[in-house]
Structure 1
């Protein structure tokens, strides 16, 4: 018995169904249906709601991923993947419903903001994140007494939960917080280490720190500006009633009241001066380590201007090799070590690449570096790579602080090595999108980090 599964191969719900099918050893034939094809007459005949995934059975079409997983598990009842008894089967249903009702809404609230699909709303984000942590605490309590959600064996309830919870640990819940859920993480590791899970979802990469919201710092600065301006505008408004009050008061009382605010203002002004004096050394503490390096004759700003002014890029790269100060600057090729489900679609991969570079990398690093970074290859095997030059001869702190630092491979270029120079030159010279090739891969989307 085999089934046809309709939908885009990159959809995680399809991967969930494939995982269940692999556990049951049921063959599944994937029929690729893009999101843009969901409104076609052909697909509407399968699902009138124009959604994916859809599975074709001998009895007809079935949609909704959890319903499909239940159907597959019921078709092989002896596997125990739907529970061994009617009571356990009801427990499986219970946990699937719990996962959908308790986790899915908060997943959508947080991740649509992390991915930039919806405007950032810090209040709703924090509320949902707190709810998620409360639910994780509840799961921790359950897994202290049970290795799985239902009984002592894996069921489709565990599969439904793992698909929802894995993104939390890769982007939202940091390493420190995860340590407070040892029983939950033990279950998580047991499920994600299954060969069938790795086949469909790849290796799960747990984040050390949570991904920040896009442009969160800029929004905070905008919100702080009016707060600083308001008291300045309100000062003259507060002074007016003070000038009018003496008309109704006696001269002696008036003098006393005029003296008190003056005396009260003196310590406030003194405190402001002290605060300013205390704040003066702060910029010195925040100095970038790259500023403390010995002076270098190579000027990156001059090079950037020459790069964009030079029509012959081949000539420009040769000038770089001869003029760069190798004691104060270094050249690198960076490759993103993608997971199994990444790099399948150009739009998603391009957004991933730009998100890493433009949103997650410290923008102050631009004055110390220059790069050509992009997406290379063809769907469904796209790569994210780039050629960089930066201050210093080691990987700088800006990259080490990057949330995805551990998922990048850094290769330092030796300009005395001809092969290294050739590899670096390929990135620097071949810049025509959809035409140029680097290491045999077509350049699809390129950006300058400058």
Structure 2
């Protein structure tokens, strides 16, 4: 039995585990697991807390990302320290990362990303704690090359994942420059081939996120204004005589509604196809030669049951100005707004292309069926997307699809004259 990691792609905790596995030369089978209402019960029955990531091994299952990191590190030469004391230091900094940094980074980040309304006081409090912790980390990294000493450990991987996230979303250049030791250390971690294979190259903004303040005084005035009309209404309304209570009529029993059958996905009702997308995905990620990947695709695809598409987003005037915001917009469209069950029927390479302030969102898609599916038509921004079905007999269209599929080196590759800035897979 191979060791399997059940976790959603695109999540920081997933990729820090995959980085550690690569550094430890531990072969993992990654199972892209997106929790939903449909599979939550299965996970809850299989794993106590029904959460991911989960590492499935011959001896049993492990959950909690740091526990998985420790397990992987024990299979390596030094990622968990070489002495008991060093192992204690690794545990110490893993706990610091989780308890003293990650909690506040996430609390602030979800406001920047728009998952909850901005709460100025809470946001400021989180930043104070983040800066306090980074000051301590910066001092420690002034004493040693890595956070626990002179050797790279999983404590560095876990810490770097959270710091990179914080520097990407919360800190501008002036704020980051306060932590020169952290920046030097982070640059080394971010430059590791194993790190770049999972996270790509980090992109840090020049300016930090600006929180608009709403003072308590303004809030109180607004609340008072809203209360005044209500008080007037209460004064003006004459008292009404109490009506004698009528006897309640017994309610007629209603027939219980028959349980609704789950609607079958139209894509499941299509005629059988000779093309298996799961097999192709495995080939795609196992084969290092990208050119061979595209050759395999054209050699095996069943164009009666599957189709190739170029998908482009028609942005508004205010969009595409900054890379970090455009990247977040793309991930929101693909990872949150698009039905994640669609991953069973599709594969894509989608990205941010071009230069600030005129960045574009576009990509190459492969999906079941020969028309735009319901999953896309239900997308909140469907009307703002352009869908071009690729005719493989049209040399220009086919080549454009190939370019998006194979030119995947960020900040180097160009497609349609636009440089690839940030790419992601929908798999």
Q: Give the secondary structure class of the aligned counterpart of 2:46.
A: coil
Cα distance in structure 2, aligned partners of 1:206 and 1:21: 26
The structural deviation recorded for 1:49 is 1.1
Instruction: State the match for 2:129 in structure 1.
Output: 131
Instruction: State the match for 1:436 in structure 2.
Output: 387
Alignment of 1:37-436 (within 5 A): 39-76=39-76, 79-213=77-211, 216=212, 223=218, 226=221, 346-348=333-335, 380-384=348-352, 405=356, 408=359, 436=387
Query: CA, structure 1 residues 190+112, in 2 after alignment: closer, same or farther (shift >3 Å)?
Result: same
The structural deviation recorded for 1:110 is 0.6
| Cα shift readout 1:375-398 (whole Å, capped 9, x = no counterpart) | xxx754223579xxxxxxxxxxxx
Q: Give me the CA root mean square deviation.
A: 3.9
Richer in helix (by share): 1
| Cα shift readout 1:31-76 (whole Å, capped 9, x = no counterpart) | 1221216754432343121110111111011111110010111123
The answer to whether the 8 A contact 1:4-1:57 is kept is yes
Instruction: State the match for 1:7 in structure 2.
Output: 7
Larger-Rg structure: 1
Stretches of structure 2 that go unaligned for 5 or more consecutive residues are 226-316, 339-345, 362-381, 390-396, 402-427
Q: Give the secondary structure class of the aligned counterpart of 2:206.
A: coil
Query: CA, structure 1 residues 27+51, in 2 after alignment: closer, same or farther (shift >3 Å)?
Result: same
Instruction: State the match for 1:359 in structure 2.
Output: none
The structural deviation recorded for 1:350 is 6.2
| Cα shift readout 1:407-446 (whole Å, capped 9, x = no counterpart) | 9479xxxxxxxxxxxxxxxxxxxx95677329778xxxxx
The answer to whether the 8 A contact 1:82-1:156 is kept is yes
Cα distance in structure 2, aligned partners of 1:119 and 1:435: 31
Structure 1-normalised TM-score? 0.53
The answer to whether the 8 A contact 1:202-1:340 is kept is no
Cα distance in structure 2, aligned partners of 1:70 and 1:405: 41
Structure 2-normalised TM-score? 0.56
Q: Give the secondary structure class of the aligned counterpart of 1:137.
A: helix
The structural deviation recorded for 1:97 is 0.8
The answer to whether the 8 A contact 2:321-2:357 is kept is no
Cα distance in structure 2, aligned partners of 1:154 and 1:61: 26
Cα distance in structure 1, aligned partners of 2:145 and 2:360: 36
